[in-house]
A and B are shown apart, each in its own frame.
Chain A
Amino acid sequence: SQTIHQWPATLVQPVGSPLSLECTVEGTSNPNLYWYRQAAGRGLQLLFYSVGIGQISSEVPQNLSASRPQDRQFILSSKKLLLSDSGFYLCALTWDRETQYFGPGTRLLVL
């Protein structure tokens, strides 16, 4: 079965600092990969999705970017964090019909 790894689990960063969150996948090949953000007490917001290496689609204009340098690696980045970037960042994949499975997430606090 497929496994999603995300790290770090928790991150505290100052405003204006850069960000790099990594998601790696095991047990499947050529998955669709997704980055979501969940603000405190809010629903899941799709940020980016990727159907293959180097293919990134952005859902919401913001100061975040994503890259997929390898089939099983998905990276979320920012050059300068804002307070509003705080939240729970979740990586997800689909490998079959449509069902999405989530990784353990990274909790980001921007101060």
Chain B
Amino acid sequence: RKEVEQDPGPFNVPEGATVAFNCTYSNSASQSFFWYRQDCRKEPKLLMSVYSSGNEDGRFTAQLNRASQYISLLIRDSKLSDSATYLCAVNRGAAGNKLTFGGGTRVLVKP
């Protein structure tokens, strides 16, 4: 089993709709989690951090389920500009503040 797994998608989403996708992790010692957004041929950019049960930032909501070891990202009222690959990252809980990244979930918002 991979340390961090994501559905690669693509998730085809009508503009204005809600989309949600998960990221599962295997290291139960992980304490912090992150969602990054990566546009084609660009660097990942931090979307939000998740340290406790969840986090909300505008149309984006991240939730953490420690019992089932997954985090989710929900995007409400999807915009065309939300089309991107969303990377999940999990802190390994070891020295060096190292993160393990999932392979990413591709989201395509269509008019």
Contact = CB atoms under 8 A, between A and B. Distances in A.
A44 B34 contact: no
A7 interface: no
Interface residues of B, number: 22
Interface string B22-48: 000000000010100000011111100
Give the 3 A-B residue pairs with the shortest CB-CB distance, closest first: A43-B103, A102-B43, A44-B101
Interface in B83-102: 87, 89, 91, 95-102
Interface stretch (A14-22, A62-70, A71-79, A92-100): A92-100
Chain B interface mostly: loop
A105 B99 contact: no
B72 interface: no
Contacts of B100: 46
B63 interface: no
A46 B98 contact: yes
A51 interface: yes
Interface residues of A, number: 23
A102 B97 contact: no
26 contacts: A32-B96, A43-B87, A43-B101, A43-B102, A43-B103, A43-B104, A44-B87, A49-B96, A51-B95, A57-B96, A90-B43, A94-B97, A97-B32, A98-B32, A98-B49, A98-B99, A99-B34, A99-B46, A99-B49, A100-B89, A100-B99, A101-B46, A104-B42, A104-B43, A105-B42, A107-B41
A107 B43 CA distance: 11
Contacts of A98: 32, 49, 91, 97, 99
Interface string A28-71: 00001010000000111010010100000101000000000000
Interface of A: 32, 34, 42-44, 46, 49, 51, 57, 59, 88, 90, 94, 97-105, 107
Contacts of A44: 44, 87, 101
